[in-house]
Structure 1
């Protein structure tokens, strides 16, 4: 496991679960504003005594003015506008997930497919709008992968309960995701700079480690989405149990195991940002 300096890892085209893990580790939680990247950090206050101000020390006046400007800028960062169109689209996708799951459980596959299609469109649209119109937000970087993973998890469970996907394959998918989340809590603890307090552990403005997706993980994400999406459409188009879908499930199981193992044995998968002294 190598050590490196803190940096931002783009979240586009990554597994939603990996993005969530990245947020849990506190790495790369940054927002883009006006062409410059600014970290979501706490504000450090500067104070000067009233006696020094009365003395007319111009140097202290400049520092005080600079501190005020910094406070104003950081206040804008810490109190960002979360009521944006991209975040609204993401929230609709998050809310639609249990509705889709309900329809699957009650055999209303056409309705589930239609709403799933709308969710896929909003997934592509919210990211494009955020980048095109400079509406990126820290909240968006968290709820977007959360919405994606919530939808995929609910579909995995409900489709398995309806015997539309293999139960063992569903178990592997869910088990891998659970393993990644538990691992993120462990790496967060061992990589957090001293002092290791409860408040600092949950302060994600303090980056401590970062996760890099492996190539097989990206392949696995694509195969999982194809397998779950086609399994949802199968009862509508009447190809449930097709041999091609069965082999796709086997492939999904193989890449899921391979992907999970790649994070265990790859030396570049997890990097500690602050090496021990």
Structure 2
């Protein structure tokens, strides 16, 4: 009798067995989700808000102002901004090395700033009749091909999921771009040509003959540097997920 009375409340308030099925299923789903989350690799992230990257970005922002100054014949203003671009180019490289502020984004932004400046000078100086059209087409054509290649490399080297938001999130590094030796020389010669052409109207002497010779040299090195990216194995390095960086759980 005592045992029967003790069991009676349990029997009266017990639920059918089917009510326990969702609880078991839910517990199993949580455990599977936790296991899948543990197996997923963490996303590599890095600090992109550094002073070198800020200086490099300021060079990119200055490009439209330089172009506007050239088109309106304000060569003194354009020359001043070119000096600023040169000084910040030296400063951001020094700061990145001296204070260990290198970043994968910096390896992309720095050449991008050079190319933005080069494109601005090439287009505006050609429009002013100070650069031959064939040379401008050669310089711009090479840069367009390299830019398209960079977009393709970014997509193929980005770890899954390959979403649009992750593609444009440059705090997630995927590949490093290392300019070839001849490419660095070509960039320096191009900047020398465009810079000298820009400041030539404010100089007291004529530079027509030296500039013509420099134009031929730049044309040759532009072709050479473009081919170097095709045959070089060290120009692009795809990063591994195991590379030590600041890790953030997805």
TM-score (norm 1): 0.59
| 2:133 equivalent among 167, 178, 181 | 167
2:11 aligned partner: none
Per the alignment, do residues 216 and 197 of structure 1 end up closer, same or farther by CA in structure 2, a change over 3 Å counting?
same
Shift of 1:148: 2.6
Tell whether the 8 Å contact from 1:113 to 1:232 is kept in structure 2 after alignment. Answer: yes
The 8 Å contact of residues 200 and 206 in structure 1, kept in 2 or not, is answered as: no
Question: Which of structures 1 and 2 has the bigger CA Rg?
Answer: 2
Match of 2:93 in 1: 127
Paired residue for 1:184, among 150, 174, 181? 150
CA distance in 1 between partners of 2:99 and 2:176 (Å): 28
CA, structure 1 residues 214+125, in 2 after alignment: closer, same or farther (shift >3 Å)? Answer: closer
Counterpart in the other structure of 1:255? 221
Partner of 1:223: 189
Q: Is the 8 A contact 2:115 2:143 kept in 1?
A: no
**How many aligned residue pairs are there?**
200
CA distance in 2, matches of 1:91, 1:271: 23
Tell me: higher relative CO, structure 1 or 2? Use CA pairs within 8 A at least 6 residues apart: 1
Give 1:126 deviation, angstroms.
2.2
Structure 2 length as normaliser, TM-score?
Answer: 0.65
Alignment of 1:1-277 (within 5 A): 80=47, 82=49, 84-137=50-103, 139-188=105-154, 197-198=162-163, 202=167, 205=172, 207=174, 212-239=178-205, 242-266=208-232, 269=235
CA distance in 1, matches of 2:177, 2:106: 19
Task: Output the CA distance in 2 between the equivalents of 1:206 and 1:125.
Answer: 23
Q: Is the 8 A contact 1:164 1:240 kept in 2?
A: no
Displacement of 1:94 in angstroms is 2.2
Distance 1:238 1:157, change over 3 A: farther
Further displaced range: 263-272 or 243-252: 263-272
Instruction: Return the alpha-carbon distance in structure 1 between the equivalents of residues 226 and 110 of structure 2.
Output: 22
Gaps of 5+ in 1: 1-47, 50-66
CA pair 143-166 structure 1, distance change in 2 beyond 3 A:
same
Shift of 1:252: 0.6
Cα distance in 2 for residues equivalent to 1:151 and 1:238: 25
Partners of 2:189 and 2:218 within 8 A in 1? yes
- 1:229-271 CA distances to partner (integer Å, 9 max, x unpaired)? 1111111115556111101101111111122123334566556
Q: What are structure 2's unaligned runs of at least 5 residues? A: 1-29, 32-37, 241-250
Aligned to 2:16: none
Superposed CA deviations along residues 157-204 of structure 1, whole A, max 9, x for unmatched, are 1111111222211111111011111223344556667x6844598276
Q: Is the 8 A contact 2:48 2:105 kept in 1?
A: no
Kept in 2: contact 1:155–1:228 (CA 8 A)? yes
Supply the RMSD in Å over aligned alpha carbons.
3.6
TM-superposed CA distance for 1:216, in Å, is 2.5
Partners in 1 of 2:234 and 2:103 — Cα distance? 28
Contact kept in structure 2, 1:189 and 1:196, CA below 8 Å: no
- Hey, which of these two has a bigger chunk of helix by percent? 2
